[in-house]
Amino acid sequence: MAIRKLRSTRLDSRRETQIRKAIVAELRRPDDTPATPDGPVVYQEESGTPERYTRWYVIWKKFEGVDSENRSRVILDAVEEVFGRQAALRVSIAMGLTPEDPVAQDIAEHSEIQSPTEACASVAETHAEYGNTKRARHGKKAV
C-alpha cells in the first residue's frame, strides 16, 4: 500500500488545558472587552450550505511545536465547551496555525490584516471581515 503512516503524540495535559482555556476565554470575550495580549486570534467561517458546517481557524504563536492533530482537537474541544455538542459536530475544519503558516497569511490577507504576526500582537484590531468569514465573538454565530 502506498499510504505512509504518521504518528502523533498526545499533547501534555497541562499545556493542552492552558491552550483550550485561552481559546475558550477568547470565544467568550465580549466585543467591548480588550483582547488578551498575545492571545489567540479566532475566525469562524460558515459554509453557506443548509447543513451550516463551520470552519474554525485559530492563529496563535503558542501553537509552535504542537502538531496539527493536537491543535485541531483542542479547538474542537473549545468550540464544544462554548457552543455545545451540536455546534462541534458541524465543524468541518478546525485548524490551528502559527502566524508564520502560509494559510494564516492567506486568512490575514483576506481579512485585511497586515500580517498574522500583527494579528497575534494586536488582536483588538482584527475585526475586519472578508466574505462570510468573521471573527468569532462571545457565543455569537457568524452570519
Of the two residues 51 and 43, the one the predictor is more confident about is 43
Contacts of range 121-125, beta carbons closer than 8 Å, 24 or more positions apart: 121/38, 123/26, 123/35, 123/36, 123/37, 123/39, 123/40, 123/41, 124/34, 124/35
Per-residue pLDDT tens for 55-88? 999 999 999 989 999 999 999 999 999 999 999 9
Q: Are the beta carbons of 91 and 53 closer than 8 angstroms? A: yes
> From CA 110, how far away is CA 69, in angstroms rounded?
25
Of the two residues 142 and 76, the one the predictor is more confident about is 76
Kindly state the average pLDDT of the residues 12-39. 92
Instruction: Report the 10 Å Cβ neighbour count for 16.
Output: 16
Per-residue pLDDT tens for 91-122? 999 999 998 888 887 876 766 544 445 544 44
> From CA 2, how far away is CA 111, in angstroms rounded?
39
Q: Mean pLDDT score of the chain, rounded to an integer?
A: 79
Task: Flag whether the pTM goes above 0.85.
Answer: no
Q: Given a cut of 80, is residue 124 above it in pLDDT? A: no
Locate 25 and state its grid cell: 476565554
Pairing of strands 54-59, 41-46: antiparallel
Domain ranges of the chain: 38-135
Provide the 8-state DSSP code for 131: T
